[in-house]
Amino acid sequence: MEKSAIIQKSLALGFSQCGFARCEPLEELRPFYHDFVTGKRFATLQYLERYAAERIHPELLLPGAKTVIGVTMNYVPANLIPGEDNFVISRYAYGQDYHTIIRSRLEKLVEFMQGGSGEFGARIFVDSGPMLEKAWAQRCGLGWQGKNTLVIHQQNGSFFFVGMILTDLEFEPDPPGKDHCGDCEKCVKACPAGALETPYQLNIPRCISYLTIEKKIEIPDELKEKLNDRIYGCDICQEVCPYNRHPQPHDLQEFLPSAELLKMRKADWLSLTEAEFTRLFTGSPVARVGYQRFMKNINACNGQGGG
């Protein structure tokens, strides 16, 4: 099957980009990842320590793997949840869980490829499994890993999800993405918690997304005042990025905020019941934190303790 047919099908399935890379060890990342793991810089995210060899050698995940196919899917909504008199939820969590949506569409892409190539080996990764997806996104030419550690594209910015297909089919690789951050440090300076004190490296314990999403940690008192009304995730380092000045809204219903979510204001969040939380967030990424932790985040932002 031709690459062009796969690319066209990926666009028809709602993906924004599709790129190809040769499956080979990420040797250039070995020193960094070794220091990352041995220095326990993953905080409580212990899954980042597991399968270290597979993260550098993706061929261990699929014997005979020859190609990594990367896709992106835009999640910029046409209408943001109003910020006035409100708490903030990261844009990626406005709608349904992206893991489910993207995996389903990647499965359809694999089925399409089987129609033209017959049976072949393939594994799908959507922010899951021991696959360094941001590094592979850059190798696939989908952008570069910027100083905020996220994948950035010159035209598409960074408000997109990334998905991967590891396959034993062989395709001509695309040119890898080149770094276009230059001397810009807007994201570094804008992070209120100082999580980007070293460009291109995330200080995980200080990241607002980590602080408001991971259930096993308590938010330190010194960082509660840095939350800036963020109760789930954080987009600050993306919002200030010059490549996100003119984001193009998507038209995927699955990622749009519900009418009820658009109406929520601070008073509504502060009085939120568990039943209301369940109704608002069933099938959403926010559901993973649970009601109790979510209310702790709200109270921490509101100066009532919690964390």
Active site residues: 127
Contacts of 241 (CB under 8 A, 6+ apart): 146, 148, 152, 157, 158, 186, 187
| C-alpha span between 245 and 241 (Å, rounded) | 7
| C-alpha span between 205 and 219 (Å, rounded) | 9
| C-alpha span between 58 and 36 (Å, rounded) | 18
Phi, psi of 152, deg, nearest 5: -120, 140
Q: Within its chain, how far is the Cα of 18 from the centroid?
A: 17
Q: Which amino acid is located at 233 in the chain?
A: G
Residue 1's nearest CA partner among 108, 118, 103, 104 is 118
Q: Which residues is 161 bridged to in the sheet?
A: 73
